[in-house]
Amino acid sequence: MKVSLLGPRGTFSEEAALKFFKSPEMVYRGEIEDIFEDVLEGRADYGLVPIENSLEGSIGITLDLLLKKDVKICGEVVIDVKHSLMVLPGTALEDVREVISHPHALAQCRGFIKKRALKTKNFPSTAGAAREIAEKKLRNTAAIAPERAAGLYGLEVLERDIQDEDFNQTRFLVIALKDGSPSGRDKTSIIFALRHEPGSLYEALKPFASAMINLTKIESRPSRKALGDYVFYLDFEGHRSEKGVKKVLTELKERVAFLKVLGSYPAAKG
């Protein structure tokens, strides 16, 4: 079974894929949009895309693509993000002048970097930064990447868990052409836009409140059309095939200007 995800080997995405799938065949991609295209054009059975990080917030590009592209969500997986500092074997911590990584990883290790007065350089991927050091044999440069990347690229880990905040989780969505079958512990994700009327968000939420359905996420996002125009991303408990959920979605559709059901899928455990 083929899974398209952010590469190269050793990314946090790969860690998430290994947690979710039994024996995935990985298709490594550089851009989140490529992953959506792989699923839509049949080059992969599943796609795995980051959706939110507890420190950085939502991944805007993923939210935008969920609105634009006709994929379904069939699963989710949450991983703990732990950053390691890695170098070419033989480089000592006091020889490190510059550290390269994804801007989010650099931001999440700001305290560590500042304390050691290291220069930083952005790189499109954490694991890619590790590979860069190995391939170009960069001395005096370290990568911040998942510990697994060190083993894959022959680097040495100088420090583990260098992130400023202990609680740092990333949630990934598994996308496909179909959503998930009922599992008994499901969530449903939808996107909607409101009519321009006072009370329209309140009216849109009424069916959920009346049915005592728990919202697990609500996020508004500028529509990119005009300032003050929003689309809403809503996750709630239940499967769209359940009678109560069906009724709520029917009622919601009558109250909003636009509704897209992204699908139902088993909620990630803890």
How many residues sit in the footprint of its own copies (CB under 8 A)? 37
CA proximity to 9, closest of 131, 161, 134, 177:
131
Q: In this complex, which beta carbon is closest to its own copies, that of residue 78 or of residue 259? A: 78
We find the least distance from the C-beta atom of residue 235 to its own copies, in angstroms, to be 8
Catalytic residue among 62, 120, 170, 188: 170
CA distance 112 to 120: 12
Burial 11-35 (b: 16+ CB within 10 A, else e): bbbbbbbbebbeebebbbbeebbbb
Question: What residues between 190 and 229 interact with its own copies by CB under 8 A?
Answer: 198-199, 201-203, 205-206, 208-209, 212-222, 224-228
Closer CB to its own copies, 72 or 171, in the complex: 171
Catalytic residue at 188?
no
Placement of tokens 């049915």 in the chain: 211
To its own copies, the closest distance from the beta carbon of 60 in angstroms equals: 6
Nearer to its own copies, 66 or 86 (CB): 66
* Residue of 33, 45, 54, 182 that binds its own copies (CB under 8 A): 54
By C-beta, is 117 or 227 nearer to its own copies?
227
Query: Do 144 and 5 touch, CB atoms closer than 8 A?
Result: no
- Whether residue 170 lies in the annotated active site: yes
| Backbone region of residue 59 per phi and psi (left: phi > 0; alpha: psi in -120 to 50; beta: other values) | beta
Tell me which of 172, 192, 232, 236 is the catalytic residue: 172
Q: Which is nearer to its own copies, 220 or 250 (CB)?
A: 220
User: Scanning residues 121 to 140, which ones bind its own copies (CB under 8 A)?
Assistant: 122
| Nearer to its own copies among residue 21 and residue 172 (C-beta) | 172
Q: Binding to its own copies (CB under 8 A): which residues in 228-267?
A: 228, 230
Q: Following DSSP, what letter does each residue of 213-229 receive, concatenated?
A: PPEEEEEEEE-SSSTT-
Please enumerate, as own/partner, the contacts of 127-131 that have beta carbons within 8 Å and a separation of 24 or more. Answer: 127/7, 127/8, 127/9, 127/10, 127/11, 127/14, 127/152, 127/153, 128/7, 128/8, 128/11, 129/100, 129/101, 129/102, 130/10, 130/86, 130/155, 131/8, 131/9, 131/10
DSSP assignment, residue 94?
G
Residues between 23 and 52 with contacts to its own copies, criterion CB under 8 A = 52
Q: Which of 29, 37, 76, 20 is nearest to 177 (CA)?
A: 37
If binding is defined by CB under 8 A, does position 98 make contact with its own copies? no
Q: Looking only at residues 157 through 196 of this chain, which bind its own copies when binding is defined by CB under 8 A?
A: 167, 169, 171
Backbone phi, then psi, for 25, in 5-degree steps? -95, 115
Select from 60, 89, 111, 151 the one that contacts its own copies (CB under 8 A). Answer: 60
List residues with catalytic annotation: 170, 172
Q: What is the binding site for its own copies (CB under 8 A)? A: 52, 54-55, 57-58, 60, 78, 122, 167, 169, 171, 198-199, 201-203, 205-206, 208-209, 212-222, 224-228, 230
